[in-house]
């Protein structure tokens, strides 16, 4: 698919579009550290089923660019959600479904929380729902998995990430899933997205702000206040969890049914790690299609 461009108030968002132009729209939001190519294994099935897909490079990723050097490189989920709404507005799309992985999953939940009238259904991969968008200190088993976040919270750690962003990303690919799910060529092609001049800034802001004061963008203050009041979602939700996820422990996505007034289904894929759409594209495509095609 060729690249397309849409200019919002603060970004030039680069995205890939596919499927029938009159199909029901689905926006696919990639995670960290990843890129739109993460969805390549499931896009053909979506297109064959008649869905129109929009797959953007998130802020700080690939060729997507900020319009001003003065804009705070803010990586919170509310910013990613607003970017998705802004892109939909530029494309003339009123209502759409969202499939998100990792950071994209957080954006999907946030879209369902803040823009429920715009979102028909969501599918969230690898990341559990967080009521009120709150980051709580995890129990020891999950805290151990979050070493990379504690590392970035240190100024010396942040400097190390700036010095070798691809090396830092590669550690996550090597350790978040059982071995053998990718080859050198695939990592190299994906890592081109990490060459964006703002990739490190967005990465550090997103993670460090969870645990320490960081720069914020006041244009999102209202959305942050609203998000902090929302504990339940009305949007039908599918959650896909890798049973061998070594980043977010599978137990973290259990028991959230009471928070989903519009319905919640959790699918656990045995032997799959943190990148389900890459590791088990057939199973993910089938589950997502079953979710999207419910009347």
Query: Would you say 35 and 3 are in contact if contact means Cβ atoms under 8 Å apart?
Result: no
pLDDT at 197 over 90: yes
Query: Would you say 243 and 268 are in contact if contact means Cβ atoms under 8 Å apart?
Result: yes
Round to whole Å and give the CA distance between 27 and 80: 12
Round to whole Å and give the CA distance between 30 and 266: 19
For the record, the structure tokens of 241 come out as: 């969890």
50 phi-psi bin (left φ>0, alpha ψ -120 to 50, beta other): left
pLDDT at 182 over 70: yes
pTM across the whole model: 0.98
pLDDT at res. 2: 85
3-state secondary structure of 294: coil
pLDDT tier at 275, thresholds 50, 70, 90:
very high
Stretch 182-205: mean pLDDT: 98
pLDDT at 252 over 90: yes
Concatenate the DSSP letters of all residues of 31-54 into one string.
Answer: -TT--GGGGTTTHHHHHHTTEEEE
Per-residue pLDDT reduced to its tens digit, 170-180: 999 999 999 99
Domain ranges, residue 278: 3-292
Cβ contacts of 52 within 8 Å, gap of 6 or more: 17, 18, 19, 20, 21, 22, 23, 24, 25, 26
CATH of the domain at 219: 3.40.50.1820
Q: Is the peptide bond before 33 cis (omega within 30 degrees of 0)?
A: yes
pLDDT at res. 1: 67
Stretch 19-37: mean pLDDT: 98
pLDDT at res. 294: 85
Q: What domain count does the chain have?
A: 1
């Amino acid at each position: 698919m060729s690249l397309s461009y849409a200019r919002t108030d603060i970004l030039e968002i680069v995205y890939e579009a596919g499927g029938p132009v009159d199909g029901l729209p689905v926006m696919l939001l990639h995670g960290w550290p990843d890129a739109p190519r993460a969805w390549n294994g499931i896009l053909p099935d979506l297109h064959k089923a008649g869905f129109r897909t929009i797959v953007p490079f998130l802020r700080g990723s690939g060729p997507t660019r900020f319009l001003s050097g003065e804009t705070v490189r803010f990586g919170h989920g509310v910013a990613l959600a607003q970017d998705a709404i802004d892109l939909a507005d530029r494309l003339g799309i009123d209502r759409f479904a969202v499939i998100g992985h990792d950071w994209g999953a957080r954006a999907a939940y946030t879209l369902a929380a803040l823009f429920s009238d715009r979102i028909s259904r969501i599918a969230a991969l690898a990341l559990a729902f967080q009521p009120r968008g709150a980051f709580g200190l995890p129990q020891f088993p999950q805290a151990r998995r979050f070493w990379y976040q504690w590392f970035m919270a240190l100024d010396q750690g942040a400097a190390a990430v700036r010095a070798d962003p691809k090396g830092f990303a590669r550690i996550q690919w090597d350790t978040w899933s059982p071995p053998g799910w990718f080859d050198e060529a695939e990592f190299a092609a994906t890592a081109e997205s990490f060459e964006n001049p703002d990739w490190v800034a967005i990465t550090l802001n997103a993670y460090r702000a969870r645990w320490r004061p960081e720069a914020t963008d006041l244009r999102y203050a209202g959305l942050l206040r609203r998000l902090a009041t929302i504990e339940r979602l009305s949007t039908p939700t599918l959650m896909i969890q890798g049973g061998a996820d070594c980043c977010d422990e599978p137990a973290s996505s259990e028991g959230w049914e009471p928070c989903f007034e519009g319905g919640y289904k959790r699918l656990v894929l045995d032997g799959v790690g943190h990148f389900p759409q890459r590791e088990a594209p057939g199973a993910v495509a089938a589950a997502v299609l079953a979710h999207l095609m419910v009347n």
